[in-house]
Structure 1
C-alpha cells in the first residue's frame, strides 16, 4: 500500500515538474498562506439578526428544545423543571466543562463526572460552540469531555453560553484552531435529537442516540 502510494505521488510530482519530488518554495509558501487564512466562501443570509434567535429557531425545527435563562444561577431551576416534566432522576452523568463548574448546584442534584454508561439516563455537558445557521451544537472530545456523554444517555442536556454561538459553520474551525494547540480527536456537530424514518416511514426519536436534546441557553454570565 505504501509503495503504491509513493509511486502515485511521485508521478504527480513529476507531471508538475517538481524536481526532486519536492514542491518549489513558492508553492509551499502559497499553500501555507492559504491554510493560515483560507478564503471565505459564499454564505447564505441568516434571516434573524440575533444569533440566539436563529440558533433557537433552527434547533427547534428539528425537535430540539431551547430554554433561555438569565444567568448561571437559574440553570438548576430550569434543569429540575425538565427532569420533573419527563420523570427523570436527579442523578446525572456530567462532563467537566468550566461552565458546569461555575453553576451553584443544589443538594438534590447529583453529578457523576466521567464517561457515560448504558445505565445513565441523563447526561449534561457544555458545548465548545453552536452554529446559528444550522442550529447545531459543536462538542470536542477530550479528557474531561468524553464523547459517550453526547450519545449514550436518553436525555442530553447542554448548558450553553450565548457568546459561544457563531453565525456560520466555517466560523467554528477558526475557534477550534485558536483554542487547541493540537486538534481534538473528535469534533461532533449535533443538530437535534437522534431520529430515523426508516421504520415504516414514521419518524422515531432516540434510534441511535438521545431521545431528547435540550439546550439551557445562558444569556449572561
Structure 2
C-alpha cells in the first residue's frame, strides 16, 4: 500500500524522533535502537491480544445511526458522494442556518457551488459559523466520529464552528474503538498530531447539572451517511 506524507506529518515525525532520542540518551542507551530491540518490540506487538469485546452486531451502520441520534446528532442518508454537497445545502436551507462555511481542503473534488452561503476550502476562523468535514472512521458502539488531523484535514473544522457537518462513508463505520485503531493501522496512517474522538455536539453539565450544548465546540452536529 502506498503512503503519502505532508509537511505536518514530517514535522511530527521529526519531533517524535528527537524526543525519543533524548530519552534514550538520558538512559545511557544508543541513540538508535539495536536490531534485537526492534525484533523484541515487534514480537510484543504481534503477541498483543485485544481485550474483551461486545457481541458482534449484524449491521454496524444501523447501530452507528442509532447511537449518533442518541448523542443528539441529526443523520441524513445519501446514496453516493455525488449527492453530498446538495445534501449539505438542503440541511442549511431547511434549518435556516446562515454564515460562512469552512470546508476541508481534501473535499475539493465536490461541487460546493450549490451551497447557499459563502464557502471556502481551508481551516475555519472564529468568524466561520459552519464547518464541513469528512472523518477518518466512525465507531458504531458509541456513535463516535474519529478525526486524524492533516494539513488538508484540519482539526479546527470540528471544534470551532457552531454547526459541524460530517460526511461518513458506510465503509468507514466500525463496531468498536479497537476496530477503529485497527482500520487506521491497515490504512498505513502514522500517528497524527491530533487524534480526536467526538461523540455528538459539545456539552457540559458543570452548572447545577444542567446540560448545555455548545460549551466547548459545535452545538449542532449533522451527519451525512454515504452509501456504499
TM over 0.5: yes
Q: Is the 8 A contact 1:59 1:65 kept in 2?
A: yes
Q: Of the two, which has the highest radius of gyration?
A: 1
What TM-score results when the alignment is normalised by the length of structure 1?
Answer: 0.80
Q: What pairs with 1:54-203 in structure 2 (closer than 5 Å)?
A: 54-89=63-98, 91-97=100-106, 100-109=107-116, 110-180=118-188, 182-203=190-211
Q: Which residue pairs with 1:31 in the alignment?
A: 41
Deviation at 1:87, TM superposition (A): 1.9
Q: In structure 2, do the counterparts of structure 1 residues 90 and 72 end up closer, same or farther at CA, with 3 Å as the change threshold?
A: farther
Greater shift in the superposed pair: 121-130 or 51-60? 51-60
- Distance in 1 (CA, whole Å) between partners of 2:194 and 2:155 is 8
Q: In structure 2, do the counterparts of structure 1 residues 45 and 103 end up closer, same or farther at CA, with 3 Å as the change threshold?
A: same
Aligned residues: 202
Deviation at 1:80, TM superposition (A): 2.2
Q: Which residue pairs with 2:217 in the alignment?
A: 209
Gaps of 5+ in 2: 1-22
Q: In structure 2, do the counterparts of structure 1 residues 90 and 28 end up closer, same or farther at CA, with 3 Å as the change threshold?
A: closer
Match of 1:43 among 48, 53, 57: 53
- Distance in 2 (CA, whole Å) between partners of 1:115 and 1:24 is 42
Q: In structure 2, do the counterparts of structure 1 residues 104 and 28 end up closer, same or farther at CA, with 3 Å as the change threshold?
A: closer
Gaps of 5+ in 1: 11-21
RMSD: 2.7
- Distance in 2 (CA, whole Å) between partners of 1:128 and 1:181 is 10
Q: Specify the SS of the correspondent of 2:112.
A: coil
Deviation at 1:71, TM superposition (A): 1.3
